[in-house]
Amino acid sequence: MRILVISDLPQFVTGGAEMQAMRLIEAWVKQGHEVICLGRRMGSAPVQVGSGLIETHRIHTLSWLGRPGRALSYAWSLAVMLIRFRHRFDVVYTRFLHEAASTTALLKSLRWIRAPLIATPASVRGEGDVRVLQALPLSRKIIRLLDRHCDAINLIADEMKEELTQAGFSGRNFTHIPNGIHVRPLEGRHVNRPIRFIAVGRLAKQKAYDVLLEALASIRTRLHPGQFTIIGDGPEKSALQDMSKALGLSPYIVWKGELDQASVQRELAKAHVYLLPSRYEGLSNAGLEAMERALPMIVSRVGGLDLHIDADMGWKVIPEDSASLATAITVAMESTPEELLAKGARCRKLIESQFDIDVTSNCYAELFAGLHRAGCGET
């Protein structure tokens, strides 16, 4: 199978969607598929993915023309490349359901390309893909175009279905393949007191770290120095650190900033509980990685990873409710090491059975092959 992927890669943009694209590409190449990758922030030289190199090309934009100019130049540049490469791919796979998917769908409607189009929305609520689409001029027509010419819209979180159908998508082409991660050997874990917590993600409003700080302030007398580690960078960094100081939380929180993957893994190994208090989320890659490392979870009920978590694996809290989050953290701190280890082991078992990247990438490959065989992939 010849797969054209439209997504930046984490070598150029740090984000969960980009990380997931890289994992899928690595798995597909390992399985013997050919991959070309197009992205707005990449160069046009081969990129190392896993043990091999993949062909990449930059989608050019004209930033000096403002937002409309960037969008139009992006669509034009992408369209030119898709037409130029149309005999070199069997399917088109996009992360996100907006500019790239819309441009590809338009070319399909004009019959300038005929390969199947598969798009994976990245997140729901907040600043998710639906909101981006609805903010575009002619949004209703764009949604109808996508609904008609996306051969599959893959939902990584169940709650995406309701939001997309409310926006005008029919649901006829929805598929359900979750994000996947590499499952690696796990050394024996140990839990000792004080119970240590970790969160990994962009310091942005979506992740609700402000709610976490409010929760910690309400139980400050129970906390121990350096008990909470937060990894990541982003636009809210200064405001969050100022808030932490104002609430008297500086002794209890270690702000690690942006770390490479190996360093993140070392921090996860030292932690005992993972925190994911997001306002909205798709299927958090960082959360999956924590579960793969056998960490019990504290997650907000946003229709993503929380749908896979039960009471034997962690705690679910009300989004943007600091009291609910404080209660869950307190219960986790009072849990015995044996209880936390048991919850973490169940999280690890779920990853092994449902979220192994080898399994999810195979599911995508089977979907691609089925659509191609159905006659959508004639060029």
Q: Could you read off the pLDDT of 89-98 as tens digits, one per residue?
A: 999 999 989 8
- Residue predicted with more confidence, 7 or 135: 7
**Tens digits of per-residue pLDDT, 350-369?**
999 999 999 999 999 999 99
Backbone phi, psi, residue 200, to 5°: -130, 125
What distance in Å separates the CA atoms of residue 323 and residue 297, rounded to the nearest whole number? 17
CATH classification number, 197-354, choose in 3.40.50.2000, 3.40.980.10, 3.20.20.70, 3.40.50.11820: 3.40.50.2000
pLDDT single digits (tens) 248-284: 999 999 999 999 889 999 999 999 999 999 998 878 9
Q: Which of 17-21, 66-70, 156-160, 209-213 has the lowest mean pLDDT?
A: 66-70
Averaged over 41-56, what is the pLDDT? 83
* H-helix or E-strand spanning residue 52: strand 52-58
The contacts of residue 266 (CB under 8 Å, 6+ apart) are none
d(C-alpha 148, C-alpha 117), whole Å:
11
Amino acid 124: pLDDT: 61
Lowest model confidence (mean pLDDT) among 216-220, 249-253, 374-378: 374-378
**E strand residue ranges, 106-161:** 117-120, 152-154
% of the chain residues with pLDDT over 90 = 75
CB 284 within 8 A of CB 16: yes
Distance (Å, whole) CA 130 – CA 114? 25
pLDDT of 304 strictly over 90:
no
The β-bridge relationship of strands 52-58 and 47-49 is: antiparallel
pLDDT of 199 strictly over 50: yes
Per the CATH hierarchy, to which homologous superfamily does domain 2-180+357-376 belong?
A: Glycogen Phosphorylase B; (3.40.50.2000)
Could you check whether 2-180+357-376 and 197-354 share the same CATH topology?
Answer: yes
- For the segment 133-140, the average pLDDT, to the nearest whole number, is 84
Domain borders along the chain are 2-180+357-376, 197-354
Residue 19: both structure tokens together: 């990380």
For residue 378, is pLDDT > 50? no
**pTM for the complete prediction?**
0.85
Higher pLDDT, 15 or 303: 303
> What pLDDT sits at residue 379?
40
**Within 10 Å of residue 176's Cβ, how many Cβ atoms?**
12
Quote the CA–CA distance of 321 and 265 in Å, as a whole number.
Answer: 29
> CA-to-CA distance for 255 and 237, rounded, in angstroms?
9
> In the predicted model, is pLDDT for residue 242 greater than 90?
yes
